[in-house]
Structure 1
């Protein structure tokens, strides 16, 4: 009898005085501190890193191009992940309780799906942009214009937002799983159970754009190798000014394509475990342990913090822009016209 009472006393609930409260399984103080540090650092990097990317592109006129506007819009999606998703998921993951209410749980889930697909669609548009830029660099300015970039940005935001709102605010995502959903969603929980049909649609919505990006970047790198060989042949002969210009334009576009290709690879590595796990889980009866699910989720979230680090490593203009912004020179009237590129063409 005493053992049962002590077990009941040891049992922690998310809401002690509420019937149907979820059971709380918090970490011990040491791991708890480490997790808050790791997850908090990811949120800070996602917020301030992407804020720097957006500020750089919108402030410096030299970066006002269709490609960089796509990159700025992608940074906006990653910024919103850091603001609206990561802090609340951090508390849920570490405390094992959702303290922010049912309505915000639905909103949080809706944003989670919307910003994921927004990032994916932005990257798909960027891969199309880079494909045109590398395969036909001289005609590129007339093919991928500011208006085309604007259409891509609009589609990359509107479609994911409409899709996620339609799925999660209408409640169709758990058709046929109502009993399981009620059993899992105790007070203090925010677990969304999605049926097999919608999980399959989600996976295909992730897989098809990803496949398109893989095909495009594979072609980009094949063309880049051919261009590099041509440039070697040209440099060994008497080089005309027009051929020299073409070579320098091609080199610049290839370099940009490589950097953005690395961004795509990082996105795939970050989101693939979560996408595969969701697919397997739906068809295997939701057997994934909580800690595996949380690892997959945070791998995906951390992608939003990785992109600014990639730009900082590979883009000299971004390093220069950060120095100008952090030092306060950005407030000078002349800073918007500053030259951020060391190479001229």
Structure 2
């Protein structure tokens, strides 16, 4: 009742002196400070965490492997989310207004889509790489080379960028939604509508590599279980050195597959609710409340901060690399040849 009697002056606008400005519905001071802290922390963690991953892999020669190049490229996608997407989304989410211009609104959405798809296709190629490494660890180095890794990286980036910029840049996503877009358009808003056809394409581009990863990692863990049983059954027997070496290599590759499998699960948990909601929204007339949408978006964004934490938890060599970077030891001569695996248990 009281809200119906509020005078017009009580309504805040994103741009007070502009006609057609969006209505501003900011949080009260307490929640605003908390949200800025939470979102800002996520952006900082994303930027510096992934920067550490990229520096570690690119600086230390011992980490120059095809798999790690894929991981560094994946970290680059997450790093760019922290630089080009999260800071601007922080202001939009807390202030309920877009202050960065109509042009960057489009770029912001293009970056968001590009880096999301780049991440999932990198993860898809990493899962195939791990499958080869676990099933045949001795032949693996000749099958998945640096050149093959480069092709996977190029495909992931080109497909993601070309698709996202073509879809949103041409306005194809708004076809058939002209009335809705017109009604939602106001100065200080940044809402991107995607029609039913393209939202299904978006979901398929997410779901197909997701399904491939689930199948591949299921096979990896079945094979890993069989290998573990084989090693256990042979533990009390005299085995040839070749078999012993093969088992040690297989154990190392299984550890890497497990760690990267956790990264895949984290990605799916973060992004799947967002994609499911986008499909439901498109077919039910965009009924998702703004606060629900913001929650789903930020759960997805925070995935970009999770991978460095996963690597730090499971990889002793990454923790050692972080220490060397933070203390400035990487600036010393020949620091790139430091042995990161000494005294590291796999």
TM-score, normalisation: structure 2: 0.97
Q: Which residue of 2 aligns with 1:31?
A: 31
**Secondary structure at the residue paired with 1:31?**
helix
How far apart in 1 are the matches of 2:95 and 2:120? 30
Query: Which aligned pairs between 1:314-325 and structure 2 lie closer than 5 A?
Result: 314-325=314-325
**RMSD across aligned positions (CA):** 1.3
Q: Which residue of 1 aligns with 2:268?
A: 268
Q: Which residue of 2 aligns with 1:164?
A: 164
Q: Which residue of 1 aligns with 2:91?
A: 91
Q: Which residue of 2 aligns with 1:209?
A: 209
- Give 1:94 shift: 0.3
- Give 1:7 shift: 2.2
How far apart in 1 are the matches of 2:295 and 2:303? 13
**Runs of 4+ with >2 A deviation:** 3-7, 342-345
Q: Which residue of 2 aligns with 1:195?
A: 195
Q: Say if 1:197 and 1:4 are closer, same or farther in 2 by CA, change over 3 A.
A: closer
How far apart in 1 are the matches of 2:290 and 2:30? 20
Structure 1 residues 284-326: Cα deviation after superposition (integer angstroms, max 9, x where no partner): 0000000000000000000000110111101101100000000
**Does structure 1 conserve the Cα–Cα contact (< 8 Å) formed by 2:316 and 2:344?**
no
Q: Which runs of 5+ in 2 are unaligned?
A: none
Q: Which residue of 1 aligns with 2:293?
A: 293
Q: Is 1:73 equivalent to 2:59 in the alignment?
A: no
Q: Which residue of 1 aligns with 2:245?
A: 245
**Secondary structure at the residue paired with 2:334?**
helix
Structure 1 residues 52-83: Cα deviation after superposition (integer angstroms, max 9, x where no partner): 00000000000000000000000000000000
The count of corresponding residues between Structure 1 and Structure 2 is 343
- Give 1:333 shift: 1.4
Q: Which residue of 1 aligns with 2:123?
A: 123
Structure 1 residues 135-189: Cα deviation after superposition (integer angstroms, max 9, x where no partner): 1111100110000000000001000000011101111101000110111121100
Query: Which aligned pairs between 1:43-54 and structure 2 lie closer than 5 A?
Result: 43-54=43-54
Q: Which residue of 2 aligns with 1:114?
A: 114
How far apart in 1 are the matches of 2:203 and 2:321? 37
Q: Which residue of 1 aligns with 2:311?
A: 311
Q: Say if 1:139 and 1:216 are closer, same or farther in 2 by CA, change over 3 A.
A: same
TM-score, normalisation: structure 1: 0.98
How far apart in 1 are the matches of 2:270 and 2:136? 31
